[in-house]
Amino acid sequence: MSERVVTAVHGRNAPREDPAYEQGLREHLRTQYNLAGLIELYTRFMHGEGALDAMMRRVIVGAASAGAGHALQVGSGVNFKHIDRLRFGNGVFLGAGTYVQGRFDGHCEIGDQTWIGPGSYFDARDLEIGEHVGWGPGAKVLGSAHTALPVDVPIIRTDLVIKPVRIGAWADIGVNAVILPGVTIGKGAMVGAGAVVNKDVADFAVVAGVPARFLRWRTDSDSSQHESSGSIEE
């Protein structure tokens, strides 16, 4: 079969404003429940596939998080740690089975209209993802690592070093890619499927491989533009 090009959906549709009753329910829950209560309430709707389950996930995440914009979509099985340290922009999509692991003193922001594919993992202790980012299913951020020193104790008992990870606006991260601690992905950069990124990626660069290496610059005349890195948003 020949390839075909279809219109993107998530990236082109402007987020709708949440209806007044949802905004009111969010505020009501925030006043009636503490954080532990909101987390327990979330588990009741966490795995459901119906419209009510989806709405309640959106409302409860809005009430429990540090902030959430309009039209947040939270897929079934999405889970969080330290949700009160997480912030979501307008129109963010979190695919089914995604796990966002914050930290009690951490910082995580996911920008407007970013699309997160199913089964993704975020070590979100110091993480910023810009707007209109496409994040492939199963892709991961590792934001921390053990020092492994001294060598005469188990590595898991050694100190943890947290390094900020920054994903620039418009970037596209391929299926099952891994972004390592301290890495910055530039604006409009493309990371290939399965890549392991251990150093910064420049704006509008295309990288792939293990470890990831520079392949080319993105340009309007690039005939391979239709070869997606694998974020597969619809």
Looking at residue 231, its pLDDT comes to 53
Q: How many CB atoms lie within 10 A of CB 174?
A: 25
Domain extents for the chain?
71-217
pLDDT one-digit tens code per residue, 194-210 = 999 999 999 999 999 99
> In this structure, which amino acid lies at residue 36?
A
Taking 3-state DSSP, the helix, strand and coil percentages for the chain, each rounded to the nearest 5, stand at 20, 25, 55
Residue by residue, pLDDT tens for the chain (234 residues) are 688 888 888 877 788 999 999 999 999 999 999 999 999 999 999 999 999 999 999 999 999 999 999 999 999 999 999 999 999 999 999 999 999 999 999 999 999 999 999 999 999 999 999 999 999 999 999 999 999 999 999 999 999 999 999 999 999 999 999 999 999 999 999 999 999 999 999 999 999 999 999 999 998 876 544 445 555 444
Q: How far is residue 8 from each of residues 77, 186, 198, 234, measured CA to CA in Å? A: 25, 22, 30, 8
Rounded to whole angstroms, the Cα distance separating 154 from 151 reads 7
Residue 223 has a pLDDT of 53
* Fold annotation for 71-217: UDP N-Acetylglucosamine Acyltransferase; domain 1 (2.160.10)
Local structure of 172: helix, strand or coil = strand
